[in-house]
Structures are given as structure tokens and as C-alpha cells.
Amino acid sequence: MKVTTKGHTIIIKDTEGNIVAFLEKINNQYNSFKKHNLILDISHDKSVDVKSITIFSDLAKKHKKEKKSLVLVAEDIDYNKVPKSIVVVPTQLEAHDMIEMDEIERDLGF
């Protein structure tokens, strides 16, 4: 797990390729991340599919209650089949763009 801070966003990159262990580590350290927008980069793990992404659903809901954004970066999946509660994009640049749009919406009161 590699953690990088960029502005008001923390980027956490999975380096092991085990999505369940990655989520467990994030949940264990969640208190240190909850005041920031999060980008969880799981693009390194080529075995990721829509089913494995759904395990992030509870974390996404919990983070939304903190009024912060959580975006997953994953490649080669059917984005239309991902649950609406989870935001998934193919690149980190798009993840930053999604967070910026969320920040603007929150500032406007949506």
C-alpha cells in the first residue's frame, strides 16, 4: 500500500494485488483518512472485476457521510455494471476530476 497526499486528496495505491487485504488495511486506518477525499488505485490488480469492486460499497457510503469523495481507479471493467454508490474511473486524472466536481457540488449545496 502506497499513500500519497496531493492537495486535499489522499491517493492510496494497492501494491500487493490482494483487494480484500487492501480494503482491510484501509478500514483499519480509516480514522486517519476520513477527513480527506480518497482515491483508491486498484488498477495494479488485473483480476479486479465488478463483483470484487462491490466490497467497497460500505466504505463508499461511510465516506460519503463524512461529506468527502471516494473514487476507485480500475481498468478493464464494465463501468455500467458498477453500483451507483461506488464511483469507478479508469485513470487517476479522471479520479481527480470527479473529486473536483464533487467539491464544487458540495460548495453549491447539492
Q: Residues 27-44, buried b or exposed e (16+ Cβ, 10 A)?
A: eeeeeebeebbbbbbbbb
- Mean pLDDT across 96-104: 96
- Give pLDDT, residue 101: 96
Q: Residue 82 CB: number of other CB atoms within 10 A?
A: 18
Percent of the residues in the chain that have a pLDDT greater than 70, as a whole number: 100
Q: Which amino acid is at 73?
A: V
Instruction: Express each pLDDT in 33-45 by its tens digit.
Output: 999 999 999 998 8
**Nearest-CA neighbor of 91 among 81, 79, 103?**
79
The correct answer on CATH 3.30.750.24 for the domain covering 2-108 is: yes
Mean pLDDT over all residues of the chain?
A: 94
The pLDDT value recorded for residue 46 is 85
pLDDT tens sequence across 1-35: 999 999 889 999 999 889 999 999 999 999 999 99
